[in-house]
Structure 1
Amino acid sequence: MVDSITDFSVQIAADKALVAKKQACQQLVYQFNQTRPDQGKERKQLLKQLFAQYSNTHIEPPLRCDLGTNVYFGKGGFVNYGLIILDIATVTIGDYVLIGPNVQLCAASHPELREQRMAPTACGEPISIGNQAWIGAGSIVLAGVNIGENCIIGAGSVVTKDVPANHVAVGNPCRVLRPIHQTELDELNSHQN
């Protein structure tokens, strides 16, 4: 038995250790989602218990995630309503990342072989979102995807492949639309200072 979910990519979904970790996560998620709007301090404490790394990213409830212990949040970001994180693999979200409502970060998957799906077996690949990226409303980011820093992902996109830093990408499947020019980056950075 492996102690950490991140030590392997294939896991029997009914494994007792995995089920226990998921139940502990669900308890914290439930408590977070039941907080009142004036309970910001309590929300932050629950998120610090839930995630592997968390400092001061603002997250609006409701939130859903599988384990929490594989999620790493940078500082200063904003997450709107309805974020879903399937984190059987590591999900890393950089500093000052903006995430629109109803975004799904799906680091979990299922194997292609029928025998493994019947087991049941779960697998996953890490997701990484770079600093100052913006993920538009209703977007889905799939397992194994890296989104570079300063990227803008258009609303409703399904991100199946990596997006290089400093690009706008949109669509289903998500495709790079254009680079973000240095003058645009300078303007964005001037608003944050």
Structure 2
Amino acid sequence: MTVPQSVLDAMHQPGVYLWDDATMGAAQAGQRDLLHTINTLRANDPERERLMRAYFAEMGEDVWIEPPFNANWGCCTHWGSHTYANFNLTLVDDGEIFIGDHTMIGPNVTLVATGHPVRPDLRERLAQFSEPIHIGRNVWIGANVTVLPGVTIGDNSVIGACSLVTRDIPADSVAFGSPCRVVRPINDHDREYYWRDRRIPDGI
């Protein structure tokens, strides 16, 4: 990790803080350059995985992120093992983002761990706040979903396409909408049918 710990501590402190271009901006520049290099490499280039491991805070085994992707920092995002993200993932990760093992992320998903105060004069001073996002194990996040600061999504849950997730979603739930709401628990029907009335074949 090339970003000083003092910069990370400043961004991850509770409450509102002011962007400091002399320290935060300078530290972010190196991460932007590394991201640019990653996105120019072919998907199967071994150098791409090596650079991603340097770029992210943590990256487990068997992680695949379709190119291109975007992130504010990279070094504040933690990937579990056997995870997958489809095209055009965006990580607003001034705050930390934690993604559990076996989680799948659809195309055009945005995970936003940082926001700005509503009060206009604070925004003029480049004030912002960060709250971590926690995505559990074996979660499926559908296409075009946005997850906002401070949200926790429990293990095994499914977030339907185009949802805006503003509050925590419990484990073992199917949730969708804007704002995203729990529609039902994962149930016995899901153990027999993979989609609507289409039965899961024997042997799978």
Cα contact 2:7–2:24 (8 A) shared by 1: no
Out of 127-136 and 22-31, give the one that drifted further. 22-31
Structure with the greater alpha carbon radius of gyration: 2
The secondary structure found in structure 2 opposite 1:156 is: coil
Deviation at 1:187, TM superposition (A): 9.1
**Shift, 1:182, TM fit:** 6.1
Q: Which moved more, 1:4-13 or 1:157-166?
A: 4-13
Match of residue 58, structure 2, among 53, 57, 64? 53
Aligned mates of 2:88, 2:183 — CA distance in 1: 26
Equivalent residue for 1:137, pick from 136, 140, 143: 143
Secondary structure (helix, strand or coil) at the match of 2:171 reads: coil
Decide whether the 8 Å contact of 1:21 with 1:67 is kept in 2: no
The CA deviation at 1:186 is: 9.6
Where does 1:18-33 land on structure 2 (aligned, <5 Å)? 18-33=24-39
Normalization by structure 2: what TM-score? 0.85
Q: Which runs of 5+ in 2 are unaligned?
A: 195-203
* TM-score normalised to structure 1 length: 0.90
Q: What is the alpha-carbon distance in structure 2 between the residues aligned to residue 57 and residue 35 of structure 1?
A: 16
Q: How does 1:62-81 map to 2 (within 5 A)?
A: 62-81=68-87
Instruction: Give the conservation status (yes or no) of the 8 Å contact 1:167–1:178.
Output: yes
Structure 1 residues 45 and 186: CA distance shift in structure 2, 3 A: farther
Number of aligned residue pairs: 189
Structure 1 window deviating more from structure 2 (132-141 vs 2-11): it is 2-11
Amino acid in structure 1 at the alignment position of 2:136:
G
Write out per-residue CA displacement over residues 96-130 of structure 1, whole angstroms, 9 at most, x where no aligned residue.
Answer: 11000000000010012222111011211110100
Counterpart residue type for residue 117 of structure 2? P
Fraction of identical pairs, as percent: 36
The equivalent of 2:182 in structure 1 is 176
Tell whether the 8 Å contact from 2:43 to 2:66 is kept in structure 1 after alignment. Answer: no
Of 3, 7, 19, the match for 2:6: 3
Instruction: Tell me the amino acid that sits aligned with residue 148 of structure 1.
Output: G
Residue 51 of structure 1 aligns with an amino acid whose one-letter code is F
Are residues 3 and 81 of structure 1, via their aligned partners in 2, closer, same or farther at CA, if it must alter by over 3 Å? same
Whole-Å separation in 1 of the counterparts to 2:18 and 2:131: 16
Superposition pairs of residues 27-42 of structure 1, within 5 angstroms = 27-39=33-45, 41-42=46-47
The one-letter amino acid paired with 1:5 is L
Please give the alpha-carbon distance, in whole angstroms, between the structure 1 residues aligned to 2:183 and 2:55. 36
CA positional deviation for 1:12: 2.2
Matched residue SS, 1:168: strand
Measured after TM superposition, the shift of residue 185 of structure 1 is: 6.2
CA deviation map 1:50-99 (0-9, x unaligned): 11101231001111001111110000011100000001111000001100
User: How many angstroms does 1:8 deviate by?
Assistant: 1.4
User: Per the alignment, do residues 22 and 98 of structure 1 end up closer, same or farther by CA in structure 2, a change over 3 Å counting?
Assistant: same
2:117 is aligned with 1:114 = no
CA distance in 1: counterparts of 2:43 and 2:57, whole angstroms? 24
Q: 3-state DSSP class of the match of 2:42?
A: coil
- Structure 1 residue aligned with 2:104: 98
Cα distance in 2 between the residues matched to 1:42 and 1:73: 18
Root-mean-square deviation over aligned CA pairs = 2.3
The question of 1:154 aligning with 2:160 is answered: yes
